[in-house]
Amino acid sequence: MASIRFEKVFKNFKNLGVIKSLDLTVDDGEFFTFVGPSGCGKSTILNMIAGLEPVTGGTIYFDDAPVNELTPRERDVAMVFQSYALYPHMSVAENLAFPLKMKKQPKDLIEAEVVRVAALLGLEALLGRRPKELSGGQRQRVALGRAVIRKPEVFLMDEPLSNLDARLRVEMRAELKRLHRQLKITTVYVTHDQAEAMGLSERIAVLKEGEVQQCAAPHEVYARPGNIFVAGFIGSPSMNFIDAQVRGKDPLKLEINGVEFNPVVERSPESDYVTAGIRPEDIIASKKETTPVEALVDLTEVEGPVTWVNLRWGNAALRVKAAPEEHLKPGDKVFLKFSGEKIHVFDREAGLRL
Amino acid sequence: MMRKLAFPAVLLLVALYCTGPVLWQAVTSVKPDPELTSLPPVLPEHPTLSHYISIFTRHPFLKVILNSTVVAGATTVLALLLGSFAAFGLAKLRVRYTSLILGFVLSVSMFPPIATVSPLYLIIRALGLRDTWWALIVTYTTFSLPFSIWVLTNFFRSIPDEIYLASKVDGCTPLQSFFRVMLPLAAPGIFTTALLVFIFSWNEFLFALTFTSTTASRTIPVAIAMFPGLHEVPWGDIAAASIVVISPLILLVFAFQRRIIEGLTAGAVKG
């Protein structure tokens, strides 16, 4: 097992900067996720760790040894691909055994390991089958097995769950977590699904256009997003952004649609206008007149324990939470209750958190 | 009812059209000499194997078959070996200007053989390869390489990159990836190419005629062309020889056909 350190790593494709100066460390045994929209360079990072893609500049270290010049074979990494990339001409057992075979391990050890990994992932009954005879979830498990069988230094996963249906995805998520807890192998995971990233990882790095926007534990990223991009990307449904006018700087007083808010910030805004971000789950709509803030329901979306409501508040469109018992309908008049301390404030210019 | 019958009828017609000449040859090969020129070519009244015996006794036909087998076999092996390495490199390794290279390779086969045969003859003679197997093996390999590189490059390209990357991560050197993963997956392409290269070398006439002079290296098509004497054309012998020559090809096609279909249905990455 190893930690992975990026030191000023960047990557260009034909003079186009795909990764711009990456500086971070994935700790030994950590479950670390790169999350971002497609094209943000997250898979490129994974390929650079694996040695499938050379870095244009900078250094990648495993523990304290630079690995830039090492082939994938020498780096001792294992990778799970989005399409599973099983070898179609080999049985499940042969697929699992392949990495050990390439390491020239003795035959009886390989057989024992195949049996062990098959038991770990519930593949015992499938060992003789070919990949084409397996379901998506089974293929996924074979791909995982092929990766864990040789106890690699680093475990890389490139959107491994995105080809599974929603239910299986949730199941496999739990399985991945269990596997990580058992094996404690440094894992770097890549996904565009923020919920997956939040649920699985000990730390996540949010990427946009090849730059890390924020790198922290999931709850930290959720509670204190570093800029507007992260705030909008993490959390579902995504955060509401509204223009706000600064009425007082110390303590901060904001006015939105004629209503005054007192959010907590670390530094004062420089200009008189800021962007306020409020998560839908932090605004509660109700037909009861508990607050003076009045809005008009546009659309509702029932989601079991809560109902999400799109509504118009003055000239702002918001998405908010309501209790399902309210039975809101389009056109209803509702009253909004804000949790004041949960308002995020970003400056207008750079979109950075205040 | 008419529709039900129309499709098989069309199939039968096409099949007859294709196999017609072969059947005619087969019938001719077992006819005694006096019946040879009778039209239409119906089945003979007194079938005979005399032509088959004659080609092996009156001509050194066994040696000629050996020549053809060695030349076609060696050409196939060489063209596939070199071709698959090149194709793998072009399809999966970091190679620049792949389309330029492919175009250049293709240009080799653009010259009409008749235009290249004289200079090639001079080269072959200068190298002292005249009337040897190597003269033909080298020439045929040269001319079938572009074809095999093109076909195989497409086959290797159709194998998902992720499978190749997975094999790299699993600890393969490029050569190990090639032999353990890529080659088995490209098997249908390999077989198809092998078959076509073999048929080309087996049937080639112009170079074979030019570069060979004795039975030391003469191949079947040339040998058959040498059958006619000054005063007679031994149609029966020619027909018998033709049947002998095409039977291994037909057997090969049937044998490989199964492999090709098996290969194609072996399963891709996703279901």
Exposed e or buried b per residue across A150-185, where buried means at least 16 C-beta atoms within 10 angstroms of its C-beta = bebbbbbbbbbbebbeeebbeebbebbeebbeeeeb
ipTM attached to this prediction:
0.82
Asked if A293 contacts A335 with a C-beta cutoff of 8 angstroms, the reply is yes
pLDDT exceeds cutoff 50 at B268: no
Which of A113, A94, A103 is closest to B170 using CA atoms? A103
Asked if B267 lies within 8 A of A88 by C-beta distance, the reply is yes
Q: Are B270 and A99 an interchain contact pair (Cβ–Cβ within 8 Å)? A: no
Strands A4-13 and A259-261, bridge-based pairing: unpaired
Mean pLDDT of B168-186: 89
A266: tokens are 């670390």
For position A220, what pLDDT does the model report?
92
Whether the model pTM is above 0.90? no
CATH 3.40.50.300 maps onto chain A at 4-232
3-state secondary structure (DSSP) of residue A156: strand
User: pLDDT tens, A266-312?
Assistant: 888 888 889 999 999 999 998 888 888 889 999 999 988 899 999 99
Cβ atoms of A225 and A278 within 8 Å: the answer is no
Choose among A79, A130, A136: nearest Cβ to B169.
A79
Q: Is there a contact between B229 and B146 (Cβ–Cβ < 8 Å)?
A: no
Percent of chain A topping pLDDT 70? 100
How far apart are the C-alpha atoms of B166 and B267, rounded to whole Å?
Answer: 17
- Whether the CB-CB separation of A29 and A23 falls below 8 Å is answered with no
Closest chain A C-alpha to B139 CA, distance in angstroms? 35
Whether B169 sits inside 8 A of A71 (CB atoms) is no
User: Looking at chain A, which residues constitute the CATH 2.40.50.140 domain(s)?
Assistant: 237-347
With beta carbons under 8 A apart, name residues in chain A contacting B167: 87, 98
Which is nearest to B259 in space by CA: B190, B201, B206? B190
ω into A225 cis (within 30 of 0): no
Buried b (16+ CB within 10 A) or exposed e, A292-328: ebebebeebeeeeebbbbbbebeeeebbbbbeeebeb
pLDDT score for B270: 39
Of A52, A89, A131, nearest to B168 by CB-CB distance is A52
Q: Strand pairing of A65-66 and A57-62? A: antiparallel
Asked if A70 has any chain B CB less than 8 Å from its own CB, the reply is no
* Mean pLDDT in residue range B224-234: 78
CB–CB contacts below 8 A, A to B: 76
Mean pLDDT, residues A145-174 taken together:
87
Long-range contacts of A265-272 (CB under 8 A, 24+ apart): A265/A345, A265/A354, A266/A353, A266/A354, A267/A354, A268/A354, A269/A345, A269/A347, A269/A354, A270/A347, A271/A246, A271/A347, A271/A348, A271/A349, A272/A245, A272/A246
The answer to whether B269 contacts A136, with C-beta atoms less than 8 Å apart, is no
So what CATH class is A4-232?
A: alpha beta
B93–chain A Cβ distance below 8 A for any pair? no
Q: Which residues of chain A neighbour B181 with C-beta distances below 8 Å?
A: 87
Among candidate residues A176, A87, A82, the one with its CA nearest the CA of residue A134: A87
Which residues of chain B have a CB within 8 Å of the CB of A148? Answer: none
Q: How many other C-beta atoms lie within 10 A of the C-beta of residue A135?
A: 12
B176 chain-A contacts, CB cut-off 8 A: 102
- Please report the pLDDT score of residue A33 as a whole number: 93
Summarised one tens digit per residue, pLDDT across range A73-128 is 888 899 998 888 899 889 999 999 999 998 888 999 999 999 998 988 888 888 98
Domains and CATH numbers, chain B: 72-264 (1.10.3720.10)
How high is the pLDDT of residue A201?
A: 92
CA A221/CA A250 separation, integer angstroms: 26
pLDDT score for A229: 93
**Could you report the per-residue pLDDT of B16-71, keeping only the tens digit for each?**
998 888 888 888 888 877 677 766 767 777 777 777 887 777 778 888 888 889 99
Which residues from chain B sit within 8 angstroms of residue A130, using beta carbons?
Answer: 266-267
Is residue A335 within 8 A of residue A291, CB to CB? The reply is yes
Q: Does B262 touch chain A (CB under 8 A)?
A: no
pLDDT of residue A15: 78
Does the pLDDT at position B267 exceed 60? no
In the predicted structure, residue B271 carries a pLDDT above the cut 60: no
Measured between CA atoms, how close is B164 to chain A, in angstroms?
A: 8
The class level of CATH for A237-347 reads mainly beta
Is B183 part of the contact surface with chain A (CB cutoff 8 Å)?
Answer: no
Task: With a cut of 70, say whether residue B262 has pLDDT above it.
Answer: no
